[in-house]
Structure 1
Amino acid sequence: MDATNMNVEKSTKMPKKLAIGLLIGCMSWMGPYTALSGTLLPAKIGVLDEAHKVMWVSTFALIAMVVATIANIIEGALSDRTRTKIGRRKPWIIGGTIASVIMFFFISWAPTVQLLLTFWVIYQIGLNAIVAPMVAIISDSVSKKHRGTASAFYGVGMSVGAYGSAAIAAPFLGNITGGIWTMAGIQVVLATISMLLIKQKSSKDDVLLPLKGKDIFNQFIFPVTNARDFYLAAVGKLLFQVATGMFIGYQLYILTDYMLLSTGKTASILSMMSLLMMVISMAMGALAGPLADKLGTLKIPVMVASVLVGIGGFMPFISNQPWTMLAYAVIAGVGTGMYLSVDQALNIAVLPNPATAAKDLGIINLSATLGQIIGPIVAGIIISSIGYRYMFIAVAVSAILGGIMILFIKKVK
């Protein structure tokens, strides 16, 4: 353990300002990303090529998955080795934010699906420069006894960002460009506030071992030592995110094509779902993290949360009436709030090596990115071949299997 981590573990106080900065920082990228991937991007694809929109959504997801996989690992590993006056993580977060916002404007302008895809891929590179370094701040700066609470702040930020942004994006279905520009503005404001709140010590004087031969290879590969629980957590997260990715990636089309709702009714239901999920997940997130710290358990909340998301995702199988989407919002909102508040603490607890925290967290959190990308691909295949109803079965199965994976972790209670 290096000197910085030793000082962190000796700390008796919860770093509240940093925790608030993480909450706002997570909102800054999660909100715009979710608004685009779940609502505005499918809507723009539909405008550009209505006849092939389902195929294009899957194609966008597949190509973005490949790019995100590479970018997340490389950018996370490079942030571990970054030495600046403002620390290891902030330069990457700031740079990624700038790149993401620039791409928003190009995405809004794109006159063809092919150009839109190109800009979406570049956006993924900027996005992943934010994601891996930001979550590593918890490992860098928060002691073990407070990580459940810090993770809860981060999780609440994810909930507000994901569901609050969807509520903001829904009214822009008739003005897609305006919606994308609004998301860009939100990201700039929130990221700026976050970076002002998060203070990290200079990393200029930290020891930086030179990389030679095999060391270079090891710096960027998946961990192979003491990594059993690490991969169980990664697979559990992947399956959970595949389930949510299937549902969220096609929630617009579920309402318009499966439930046959008008544009106005669709926007109304999307807004109601987003509000329900945001409020419920925030409440559960605020409770679950501190409770996990108090009880000394991380596995059970994550497992229960996965099962609840699976139950919620199954609801539209019962009926193609809008009430089932609201039922999903309530049940999955409880599960998602629990999951997001505790999951990051679980991820940090199973890290094989704190010295490569951002790279390894980038890999394990890559499961979330991959799940959100694989989910729509799987959903598109199911929808195109056997219909929407069977997709809801797949959502339930994937989420519950994800929870089962977490139960096999031995290192964490």
Structure 2
Amino acid sequence: MSLNDEEREAVVADDIAPDTGLPMPTGHKIRFAAGMIVFNILWMTAGTAASQVLLPSRFTTLDIGQPETVLATMNSVSIIFALVANVVFGALSDSTRSRFGKRTPWIPLGGVVAGIAYYMTSVATSLVGIVAWWSVLQIGVNIMIAPCVAILSDRVPARIRGTLSAFYGVGQILGQSLGALIGAQFVTNERVGFVIGTVIWLLTGFITIVIIPREKSSLGEGGERFSLRKVVMQFRPPTRNARDFYLALVGRMCLIFGYNMIMAYQLYVCMNHIGLDNEGAAGVVAEMATITMVVSLVTSLASGPISDRLGRRKPPIAVASVVIAAGFAVPWLVPTSTSMLVMAGVVGLGYGIYMAVDQALNVDVLPDPDEAGKDLGILNLANTLGQVVAPIITSSLVIATGSYAAIFPVAIAAVLVGAVVIMFIRNTR
């Protein structure tokens, strides 16, 4: 069957890099893929090691409050800074004019800010100090993430966004797993673990901009230059053609919320739901991380190209959500160390599928590509909100019931609701 003129033009447009107006060379595709993986491996490794293992372990010895409450307080306050930083620096990168491009200058700066804040969090001994420095770290993280995610819209042809999104997701999956592994290895020697994390943060941005193809100068770009008024106006959420945008936001937030209710508390789940001691729980967490990493890596690398070939984003996310929910049900119904390992494999399968398609879906629903940095920043708030609200709800349920059993059905419901919301999106298949 031959293509008509409109279909042929659409195919050609899908192959064109938005920033150059030309097809993307294979070498650039490889460098973008490598850059996406490395960026996410680095920052997720450092962040996960602290947030899921090292800091929760440290909170059990600081005598500054119930560990779950300390963790929830740290996250609930830092969300304010993360929310603002993501939108502000997305808007700033949209407006930046420099010979290095509009996204590039912000990425290494964010890594340096995060590295300093990470180290200061690790040496803080009061609740106020921990919360304050973790909030600064959230600013640094979002200085990097907001412009990095916008690259998918700015510079990547539509035809390979699913594949590049898969590599982005693979980096996060590997980083989460490596972070849990590293954190578990240093749970009895936290200082070394925190120093390693600090070095990783400091290097993340610089390594990333070396790997990805150089961004063209933005000095000659038209449009209004950055101003305080423009930043204030950028806080306005999109209102035109934005139905799918908000469905993607809500669906993503539900899934990330449900996922983190269990995975962000896996050390405490192993200790209090399964009944292991601190070192035993750390060992199981390390095994889970290995299983999740291997399964998710294979699944994600396969799912992105398949999504591009089929031209579909919603069905993979629905399948992923059902698989994740099924994985959570295993240790809920059978609380043993073995069931936690089974959960790691099943959830890794579903999360790998989800992460392969998630960023491509987000780019597909953007109301205005010219405000990609700001709007993707808003969509990334779903990640931040889900990650921060999850510990708050989890700690509240644990305190109210005295058990971790109640968090599993809530997490399962949240993940499935997220899938239903995503299926109502109209403008992408």
TM-score norm. by structure 1 comes to 0.95
Unaligned runs of 5+ in 2: 1-12
Change (3 A) 1:264 1:214: closer
Structure 2 residue 188 is matched with structure 1 residue 174: yes
Q: Quick one: structure 1 residues 84 and 192, their matched pair in 2 at CA, closer, same or farther if it must change by over 3 Å? A: same
Displacement of 1:334 in angstroms is 0.5
2:418 paired with 1:402 = yes
1:222 alignment partner, SS class: coil
Asked whether the equivalents of residues 96 and 226 of structure 2 are also in contact (C-alpha less than 8 Å), the reply is no
Aligned partner (choices 235, 257, 267) of residue 250 of structure 2? 235
Whole-Å separation in 1 of the counterparts to 2:241 and 2:350 = 30
- Cα 1:294–1:339 change in 2 (3 A) is same
Partner in structure 1 of residue 9 of structure 2: none
Equivalent residue number for residue 411 of structure 1: 427
Matches within 5 A, 1:8-407: 8=20, 10-14=22-26, 15-49=29-63, 51-198=65-212, 199-210=214-225, 217-386=232-401, 387-407=403-423
Counterpart of 1:134, as a letter, is: C
Q: Which amino acid aligns with 2:417?
A: L
TM-superposed CA distance for 1:287, in Å, is 0.1
* Letter of the structure 2 residue corresponding to residue 175 of structure 1: N
> Is the 8 Å Cα contact of residues 87 and 377 (structure 2) preserved in structure 1?
yes
Q: CA deviation at 1:50?
A: 6.8
Change (3 A) 1:399 1:41: same
Contact 1:8–1:140 (8 Å) recurs in 2: no
Aligned-residue Cα RMSD (Å) equals: 1.9
Higher mean alpha-carbon deviation, 181-190 vs 280-289, is at 181-190
- SS of the equivalent of 2:312 reads coil
Deviates further, 180-189 or 157-166: 180-189
Return the letter of the residue paired with 1:19: A
Q: Deviations over 1:209-228 (max 9, x none)?
A: 15789855432221111110
Structure 1 distance, partners of 2:20, 2:303, is 23
Checking the alignment, whether the CA contact within 8 Å between 2:96 and 2:225 is kept in structure 1 is no
AA paired with 1:407?
Answer: M
Question: Following the alignment from structure 1 to structure 2, what is the Cα–Cα distance between the partners of residues 113 and 174?
Answer: 21
Paired residue secondary structure (2:66): helix
Which of 30-39 and 210-219 deviates more? 210-219
The 1:213–1:82 alpha-carbon spacing in structure 2 relative to 1, beyond 3 Å, is closer
Verify the 8 A CA contact 2:252 2:382 in the aligned structure 1: yes
Aligned counterparts of 1:249 and 1:153: Cα–Cα separation in 2: 22
- Structure 1 residues 299 and 108, CA, compared in 2 at 3 Å: closer, same or farther? same
Q: Deviations over 1:221-247 (max 9, x none)?
A: 211111100011111110011011111
**What SS does the corresponding residue of 2:397 show, helix, strand or coil?**
helix
Flag the 1:312–1:235 CA change in 2: closer, same or farther, 3 A: same
Q: Deviations over 1:24-57 (max 9, x none)?
A: 1121212211221111121222221275112111
Aligned length: 411
Identity %: 35
Gaps of 5+ in 1: none
Distance 1:381 1:192, change over 3 A: same
Q: Which amino acid counterpart does residue 343 of structure 2 have in structure 1?
A: Y
Q: What TM-score does the superposition give when structure 2 sets the normalisation length?
A: 0.92
